Structure 1
Amino acid sequence: MICQAMNTQELVVAAARQCLSTGRKSLSVPQSLNVAAQLLAVDLALKPALLYDANSASAEQVHRFLRSCQSSRLVSGSLVTLDLNGNSLIVNLVAVRSNLERMLDNGGPVVIDVCSSLEKPAIMEPVRAGLKSIAGALLSLLKRFDTTKDADQGVYVAEGSDVWNLSTVFGLLLGYPATYWFDQTESFENCLAMTPLMVTNASATWPADTNSHKCCLYSFSIPALLHNETFSNVEKWKFGLQERFQQQNVLKELTICQTAVTLPSLCL
């Protein structure tokens, strides 16, 4: 099993360094391992999607990387690339569809209004944030996607997505229990400067016989003053992640921790 893990690591790292290089610069081995571990986490449905931000690789390159891993049978065919207004994601179709359906049934993430005009962050209705409308549009698009016919193309989201609040949408797609919203027609600034935040990190280890790789699966923040209002959602999220983690044996040593931070500014 350890030997198999090593072989998988070597193959995925090679695919990452070959497909995701920019100019003459390839991803480092640690960067490649991190991308590979997160890709496996998406395939195992430990997280619904991976937002690719390791370097400036294009959506086409990210798609080529995924197809290379699928061709080598390192991950399943249920993963697809999503090009959202120039941002590249690799998504687990089943997990993301489930999240979007939950959002439409009033079971999605807590939406936190962080408009710069507010004195402090506040809970708001998903309908006001337009999140239900966005979830419906994405769900309709993904339901039409056929992995047997469209896998070589990936999913491109164009119509209407240029006005979506991407911070809010990413929170939904990445499976966070809470997501930020701000009125971008008013300002792209927010009211989180010097606001005490509780940052939740979830990490796991990808074992090998030497130098096992530790990877951050999730990292998100919630204003400390909204702890009581978001507690139930965060606890459900923790339980769901722990339950899914127990159903696989590829990644080990799940750790979920919280730390308090206060930052002079926070870019969303």
Structure 2
Amino acid sequence: MSTQELFLAAARRCLSAGRKSLSVPQSLDLAAQVSAVDLGLKPSLLYDSNGAGADQVQLYLSSLQSSQLVSKSLLTLDLNGNSLIVNTLAVGSNVEQLLRDNNVAVIDVCHTLEKPTFADSLRGEIRSVTRDVLLLLRELEQPKEAEKPHCVGEKSAEWNLCTVFGLLLGFPVTYWFDQTESFENCLSMTPLIVTTASATWQADSASHTFCLYSFSFPAALLEALQSNLERWRLRLQERFKQQTVLKDLTFCQSTVTLPSVCL
């Protein structure tokens, strides 16, 4: 079987939700994303292709590892019912750098605000959460072939998962809101700039173009975020040059305004 066929077979065998399996394009997108995580081009992947649970995602990952399609540096993290495929080496290094260099911008989007603003007054709280995440990641750094997903304990109940996902997924900007008050936000009808990075996954003689990164931020904060965005772009370009599996890295920005935004 070709590399693509092995990835497709693993997805079909392991990731069905009820009677629904992933389509071929969905399976190829997932294969490309997992390959990017394995290469360290992105530290982790939030699995949201269908309703498959963390045990199924781990079964899929174990199948790929058994076929030597990806390394044993990858594992499945079950974070409050959310499944992430994590490169333990890349994500730990990335979060540690963010904590040290303050290279991620956190935007407060609490529903009580008139408009989004930088969460500078929450820097201590956010650094505390980042340290907690880093401690968790250090526990996972030893490469091994796991049989079950790693479930995060009660500590994560205090975390704002929107912020934590931004950290784990390697975004240069992430959102925060006071979840003890409300899960609503102030992004309704706020112009948002959506930044995407796309690439082409080359497997065997076939290729598949997919979205490598996608994140948003308020357009009004673009000027203040330029340095963060530029550092993120340059680091990704540098890592991209060090591998040959993915090709044709491109960046794109578009502006959207939505009546409601779910984070």
> TM-score range, shorter-chain basis?
over 0.9
CA contact (8 A) 2:2 2:204 kept: no
Is 1:101 the counterpart of 2:96 in the alignment? Answer: yes
Per the alignment, do residues 191 and 127 of structure 1 end up closer, same or farther by CA in structure 2, a change over 3 Å counting?
closer
One-letter code aligned to 2:130? A
The CA distance in 1 between the partners of 2:208 and 2:121, in whole Å, is 37
CA distance in 1, matches of 2:40, 2:57: 19
**Shift in CA distance, 16/129, structure 1 to aligned 2, threshold 3 Å:** farther
Deviation, 1:58, is: 0.6
Deviates more, 1:177-186 or 1:144-153: 144-153
Match for 2:41: what amino acid? L
Partner Cα separation in structure 2 for residue 236 and residue 148 of structure 1: 29
Decide which moves more: 169-178 or 128-137.
Answer: 128-137
Q: TM-score, normalised by structure 2?
A: 0.94
Partner amino acid for 1:244?
A: R
Q: 1:144 to 1:178 in 2, by over 3 A?
A: same
Query: Residue type matched to 2:27 in 1?
Result: S
Q: What percent of counterpart residues are identical? A: 62
Residues matched between the structures, number: 263
Number of the residue aligned with 2:58? 63
Query: What is the distance in 2 between the residues matched to 1:106 and 1:247?
Result: 23
Task: Work out the CA distance in 1 between the residues paired with 2:157 and 2:140.
Answer: 21
Unpaired segments of 5 or more residues in structure 1? 1-5
Going from structure 1 to structure 2, the CA distance change for 1:156 and 1:256 (only over 3 Å counts) comes to same
- Asked if 1:135 corresponds to 2:114, the answer is no
Partner of 2:5: 10
Q: 1:227 aligns with which of 199, 222, 231?
A: 222
- Unpaired runs of at least 5, structure 2: none
Q: List aligned pairs for 1:135-174, cutoff 5 A.
A: 135-145=130-140, 147=142, 151-174=146-169
What letter matches 1:160 in structure 2? K
Residue 207 of structure 1: how far off its partner (Å): 3.0
Kindly indicate whether the alpha-carbon contact (under 8 Å) linking 1:198 and 1:222 is maintained by their aligned counterparts in 2.
Answer: yes
Q: CA deviation at 1:103?
A: 2.8
Taking structure 1 as the reference length, what is the TM-score of the superposition? 0.93
Measure, in 1, the Cα distance between the counterparts of 2:253 and 2:3. Answer: 31
CA RMSD of aligned residues (A): 1.8
- How far apart are residue 197 of structure 1 and its match? 1.0
